[in-house]
Structure 1
């Protein structure tokens, strides 16, 4: 494990935190009473949030299976990984390609405590964890270079993380710096909350979250999410509800319901 800065921040058990609340919504066990209270209140305001969390996790699995399988990617930079649950990036990728190398990035102290659960790997591959902030892509790239070879394609996974960079210009700059560091054939996968698919209840739930939990969240439009993919070739079906990005349904099966979370994957030409 490689850490940056002076060490992880102190865990605040009295303020709900996204990583822990998300873990609660996914059925995990790594959360405090305040996370459960805030999580339950958000569910009361916006019951579909649990489906958003599950759809986002399912998108991760489908995207990694595509990237490690059809696209032949063997390196993954997973930024904002959150608390480990099931079907983490390294598990999905190394099941397909045991030699895959994965670097996780997060800066939540609870995630850091549980990082060792992520630090498992097939004998042929590698898995590492970096304690770093999405706002500091240079630190991320420098530390990740100890595990990843940036002369070979990398899949940059940014699921549910750019919404914690409130300034859209800053968020674009972070993505651009990361994409500039990887070669042709690399991919960018993003999920991001939106009000375009969620309606007024979602807006109220986000407002409650920002007043009662950390870090504050920012929803974005399809056009704003599209700006993160400038310079890449968006894969079909483009920017859609993450539940509808290449869903695994039987032939002729009904399309899954939309959730208020965009999902997309782009390839750097």
Structure 2
């Protein structure tokens, strides 16, 4: 995160930043109450909050899912290398911080093509030689798995943890998202772990209307993306993998850190995730 106390204004914008369109990474930062976002990004948050006042919980559940999954991988699997796709802006408890606290030898490659993310990534590299940022489109998997920086940093003969956390719901191209994931999964060696989180339509009378209202706001906002897919659509992304318990679940229900004392907010039923292992 930025060390400044105030959020940037349009007068502070570097020349390479386009503030006429919201950035996925900066909107996510706004949802997390960060400082690295602009008015156009905060407008997306405000619009979603009009239909779902607790909308920021989507980002918090996603971040906490990342932390718990990373901790599980680092403590239980022996995997020491991570490919984090669509990493977003550095915030508290990033993948490399969680993993390297448990195993300092862990190597993390972050992939993003947002210029603000890359600027933060370059700064991060100065303090951590086990961490690398590369500028690529995460929806072009062939380029990423063949990227020389990736293949020099990660050993594709040993298991790798691949993260697509809060990313694929922003893809709305013609290529089926399951095909994109298949390229990644095919490139991974046996024993690798794949974690995905995704905006979720539970297809229930109680929660589906909210999911579809939020989707409509996201799609017609200055960001223009944010699909709420169903369980079968999300499970297609894990084709060929063995699901790790508890399998597909709400992000909030994937091995929480303690007993549930307070009920879930309604929006928490609208983001789900799972972790799979390649046989």
TM-score by length of 1: 0.89
More moved, 165-174 vs 207-216:
165-174
RMSD (Å), alpha carbons: 2.0
Aligned equivalents of 1:161, 1:168: Cα separation in 2: 16
Which of 151, 155, 160 is matched with 2:161 structurally? 155
After TM superposition, what 4+ stretches of structure 1 lie above 6 angstroms from structure 2? none
Taking structure 1 as reference, are residues 259 and 121 closer, same or farther at Cα in structure 2, changes over 3 Å only? farther
Aligned equivalents of 1:175, 1:38: Cα separation in 2: 28
Aligned equivalents of 1:256, 1:201: Cα separation in 2: 17
Q: Which residue of 2 aligns with 1:6?
A: none
Aligned equivalents of 2:263, 2:88: Cα separation in 1: 25
Please tell me whether the aligned partners of residues 49 and 55 of structure 2 are also in contact (alpha carbons under 8 angstroms).
Answer: yes
Q: Does 1:217 align with 2:236?
A: no
Which of 185, 194, 200 is matched with 1:188 structurally? 194
Q: Which residue of 2 aligns with 1:3?
A: none
Aligned equivalents of 1:156, 1:185: Cα separation in 2: 11
Taking structure 1 as reference, are residues 248 and 97 closer, same or farther at Cα in structure 2, changes over 3 Å only? same
Taking structure 1 as reference, are residues 122 and 33 closer, same or farther at Cα in structure 2, changes over 3 Å only? closer
Which of 105, 108, 112 is matched with 2:114 structurally? 108
The Cα of 1:10 is off from its aligned counterpart by 4.1
The Cα of 1:120 is off from its aligned counterpart by 5.6
Q: Does 1:266 align with 2:266?
A: no
After the TM superposition, which residues 6-45 of structure 1 pair with which residues of structure 2 at under 5 Å, given as runs? 10-45=16-51
Q: Which residue of 2 aligns with 1:88?
A: 94
Which of 110, 126, 136 is matched with 1:132 structurally? 136
The Cα of 1:98 is off from its aligned counterpart by 0.3
Please tell me whether the aligned partners of residues 17 and 215 of structure 1 are also in contact (alpha carbons under 8 angstroms).
Answer: no
Q: Does 1:141 align with 2:150?
A: no
SS in 1 for 2:176: helix
The Cα of 1:201 is off from its aligned counterpart by 2.9
Q: Does 1:236 align with 2:245?
A: yes
More moved, 140-149 vs 210-219:
210-219
SS in 1 for 2:104: coil
Taking structure 1 as reference, are residues 234 and 105 closer, same or farther at Cα in structure 2, changes over 3 Å only? same
Aligned equivalents of 1:196, 1:16: Cα separation in 2: 27
Aligned equivalents of 2:244, 2:135: Cα separation in 1: 30
Aligned length: 257
SS in 1 for 2:146: helix
